[in-house]
């Protein structure tokens, strides 16, 4: 299970900075050089002998590669207001974001695409994602839908994934890296839940390409035979809002002509 970094506002800012530095495997000297401050000053901040300014907190958060949410938490711990807003996606000021997301989703038809938030909850999707969700038990699609749970749960996609061990290893590896980056305790709990799901296929410790493979494919058993997908992830390049920073769009592409033909035929049937 992946270790998590501090996320509580109750933790003193100096202690949080020190623990984040340790999570990032940086010495005081390395961090002070990257932040262009003295090691002595950094030591005083970490031990609580010096209260960092608002600018200093953000200056240290940069080389620590902290997500916007964690930067806000550090500011709160230091006694300052958060610097980055967290705007609901439905808010009027997010209209351009919603329009951009919908354009990406619609433009990806007839191939599946989904938008997820920090916790891997489904925020939006195009019509073609139904090819995958139609295979999932209804109870897993009720309420907030967690796409990792849907993918690996025995009542979800798992029984239909021909390379379940490989795909499961890929997803858990991605989740582990996210936990290391964010220190999110809820994601750590999700990881523990997912690792408890049954899987008879061997899960590779290290992702290595199989014969002729250049990415980890999703191989899905389907009525029309095995479908093979490649996936990409898109994020907003310069987010200054927590909600926006935590959105990602995962798009699936057919890896062979058979898969592409099945998707095109499905879209044609839906269009009537």
- The model's confidence at residue 200, banded by pLDDT at 50, 70 and 90, is confident
pLDDT score of 224: 64
Is 248:233 a contact under the CB 8 Å cutoff? yes
Using omega within 30 degrees of 0 as the cis cutoff, is the peptide bond preceding 110 cis? Answer: yes
Residue 3 and residue 1: Cα distance in Å, rounded? 7
pLDDT score of 72: 97
Mean pLDDT calculated for residue range 136-158: 95
Residue 134 and residue 224: Cα distance in Å, rounded? 14
pLDDT score of 8: 45
- For residue range 58-117, what is the model confidence (pLDDT) as tens digits? 999 999 999 999 999 999 999 999 999 999 999 999 999 999 999 999 999 999 999 999
- The model's confidence at residue 205, banded by pLDDT at 50, 70 and 90, is low
Is 82:38 a contact under the CB 8 Å cutoff? no
- What is the separation, in whole angstroms, between the first and last Cα of the chain? 48
- For residue range 26-54, what is the model confidence (pLDDT) as tens digits? 999 999 999 999 999 999 999 999 999 99
Burial environment of residue 200 by CB neighbours within 10 A (0 to 12, 13 to 18, 19 or more): exposed
Position 207 pLDDT exceeds 70: no
């Amino acid at each position: 299970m992946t270790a998590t970094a501090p996320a509580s506002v109750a933790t003193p800012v100096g202690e949080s900075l020190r623990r984040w530095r340790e999570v990032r495997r940086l010495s005081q000297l390395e961090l002070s050089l990257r932040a262009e401050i003295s090691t002595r000053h950094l030591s005083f901040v970490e031990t609580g002998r010096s209260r960092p300014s608002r600018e200093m907190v953000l200056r240290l958060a940069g080389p620590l590669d902290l997500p916007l949410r964690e930067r806000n938490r550090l500011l709160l711990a230091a006694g300052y207001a958060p610097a980055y807003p967290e705007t609901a996606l439905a808010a009027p000021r997010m209209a351009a974001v919603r329009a951009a997301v919908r354009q990406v989703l619609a433009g990806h038809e007839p191939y599946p695409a989904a938008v997820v938030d920090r916790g891997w909850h489904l925020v939006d999707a195009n019509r073609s994602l139904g090819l995958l969700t139609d295979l999932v038990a209804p109870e897993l699609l009720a309420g907030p839908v967690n796409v990792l749970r849907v993918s690996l749960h025995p009542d979800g996609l798992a029984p239909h994934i021909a390379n379940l061990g490989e795909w499961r290893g890929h997803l858990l590896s991605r989740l582990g890296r996210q936990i290391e980056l964010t220190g999110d305790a809820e994601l750590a709990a999700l990881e523990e839940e997912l690792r408890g799901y049954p899987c008879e296929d061997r899960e590779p410790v290290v992702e290595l390409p199989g014969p002729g493979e250049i990415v980890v494919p999703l191989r899905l058993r389907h009525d029309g035979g095995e479908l093979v997908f490649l996936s990409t992830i898109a994020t907003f390049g310069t987010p200054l809002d927590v909600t926006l920073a935590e959105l990602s769009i995962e798009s699936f592409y057919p890896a062979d002509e058979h898969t592409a033909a099945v998707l095109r035929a499905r879209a044609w049937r839906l269009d009537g």
